[in-house]
Amino acid sequence: MGLDGLVTAVLYKLIIHIMTLRTLWRYLRAQGTDTIPIIKRIEDIVIKTLISAEECITASSFNMPSRYNGYELFGFDIILDENFKPWLLEVNISPSLHSSSPLDLAVKGHLVKEVFNIAGYHLPP
């Protein structure tokens, strides 16, 4: 297989495996995989990443009119390897909330509602 075939195979594999976390956890449990350690490792990655960037995050809060009611949304891109070990790919500050597919709309629509609810602007279900 040439390099083009390998890239196509990798892209094909990535495209067919994009799903919601709920669907992923359900699928892995059905396969007999204990998802609790995976979830704990992902939480650990997120916490350690935020701690390592705390100085930058708090420095940017000085540009806000009030540091007591400012919010920032971070998008963590994490991939699981063949042993279900999570790896951090990147962290997006102010990730796009544009929906380009029904799956995007389902995930991001719920996310936007939750962000507003956390910020105190309660939206109906």
Residue 119 pLDDT: 81
The candidate with the shortest Cα–Cα distance to 38, out of 80, 76, 77, is 80
Kindly tell me if the per-residue pLDDT of 118 is higher than 70.
yes
43-49: average pLDDT: 95
Triad 21, 114, 68: Cα angle to 5°? 125
H or E element: which one contains 51? helix 36-52
**Structure confidence by residue, pLDDT tens digits, 51-78:** 999 888 777 766 777 766 677 888 898 8
Write down the mean pLDDT value for the chain: 79
Task: Report percent pLDDT > 70 for the chain.
Answer: 80
Integer CA distances (angstroms), 25 to 36, 37, 41, 50, 52, in order: 9, 12, 14, 24, 28
Residue 67 pLDDT: 65
Please state, in angstroms and rounded to a whole number, the distance separating the CA atoms of residues 31 and 36.
14
The candidate with the shortest Cα–Cα distance to 97, out of 80, 122, 114, is 114
Triad 76, 24, 11: Cα angle to 5°? 70
Structure tokens that stand for 91 in this block: 């962290």
Please state, in angstroms and rounded to a whole number, the distance separating the CA atoms of residues 44 and 16.
27
Residue 18 pLDDT: 62
Return the exposure string of 44-66: e unless at least 16 CB atoms fall within 10 Å of the residue's CB, then b. ebbeeeeeeeeeeeeeeeeeeee
